[in-house]
Amino acid sequence: MKAIIPVGGLGTRLQPHTLTRPKVLLHVAGKPILAHILDELIAAGIREVVLVVGYLGEQIREWVGTNYDIEATFVEQREPLGNGHAVYVAREHLDGGPVLILFGDTIIRAHLPALLARPESSAGVKEVPDPRRFGVAETDGAGYITRLVEKPERPASNLAVVGCYLIRNSTLLGESLERLIREDRQARGEFWLVDALQLMLDAGERMRTFPITHWYDCGTVEAMLAANRELLDLAAPPPPSVPDAVIISPVAVHPDARITASVVGPHVSVGAGAVISGAVVRDAIIHPGAVIEHALVAGAVIGEGARVSG
C-alpha cells in the first residue's frame, strides 16, 4: 500500500500565513498539519508516500527529510490546476496496486486501519449541514456510490467526501485521470479528482462510502482554530509544568517555548522557540518563533516569527 498526498496548494484563504510557509506546514494542536497526516499513515503501517508538491515545495522536501524516515517520493505540480491534476502528475505511481489518497489540508483520526482492510474501493464521507463547499457523494440503498459531484449548488445528499480515498484499481484511476485531462473536463478552472472518480464509476468500478467521524478541514483560519480545539480535546499531551505561569488544559506547548508571568489556555498550541510574557492567550495557535508580550490573544493564529506587543 502506498499513499499519494497532494500538498502543492497555494493556501490563498490562509494568507498572510501562507505567503512564507506552505499550508501543510502550518501548525495545529502542537505540530504541522502534514505531521498529523504522516503520523496516521505510519501508525497504519504505510511507509511509502508520494507527495505532490508545488508552491514552496522545497520547504516540504526539507521538512520531511529532516523529520521522517520513510520512503518519500516528491512529484512537482508546476501549475495549481486542481486536486485531480495533482494526482494526475503522480500517475506513474498508479501501478495497478491499491493506493490511498489523502488531501494535504485534511486531518482524520483513528480510521485508516479499518479503511485499509476493506476489499473494495471506498471514499471517506461525513454528513455535514451544508455540503456545497465540498464534493458530495450520492449512494444507492446498499451504500455504493452512484454519483460524485464537486461543490454542487443544489446537493442531492449531505454526504461530503472528505479527501480520503482507498482505490483498489489504480490502473483504472490512472486511465480516468488521463481522460479527464485529455478531454479538458474542467470545472471552475480546475480538474477535480471526484470527476475522475466518476469516470471510474461510469466504467464499472464499485465504490462504497466509509464514514469518517473525526475529520478536520484546515483550509481557513477559522477551520484551523476549530481543528486545534477539537484535536486538543480529543488527545492533548500532558500540560507542561511552568512555575511562573498558569496553564489551563488542554494545550500543546513545545518544550523549547518560553512562558513567563502569563495565563495560557485552554485550546492553545505553542510552537518551538515561541515566547509568551505577561500575556493571556486562549483559543490560539502560536507558531514557532513568535513573541507575545503584554497582550491578550484569543481566537487568533499568530504566524511564525511574528510579534504581538502591548
The three cell numbers locating residue 215: 475529520
Most confident option among 71-85, 91-105, 138-152, 289-303:
289-303
pLDDT tens, 175-232?
Answer: 999 999 999 888 888 889 999 999 999 998 999 999 888 888 888 999 999 999 999 9
End-to-end Cα, the chain, rounded Å: 52
Structural domains present in the chain: 2-221 (3.90.550.10), 236-309 (2.160.10.10)
pLDDT tens, 145-166?
Answer: 998 888 888 878 888 888 899 9
How high is the mean pLDDT of the chain? 92
Which residue from 153, 215, 149 is spatially nearest to 185, judged by alpha carbons?
A: 149
The dihedrals phi and psi of 87, each to the nearest 5 degrees, come to -70, -35
Q: What pTM was computed for the model?
A: 0.92
SS3 244: coil
The pLDDT value given to residue 255: 94
Q: Which segments of 194-265 are extended strands (E)?
A: 207-211, 215-217, 245-247, 251-253, 258-260, 262-264
Percent of the chain with pLDDT over 70: 100
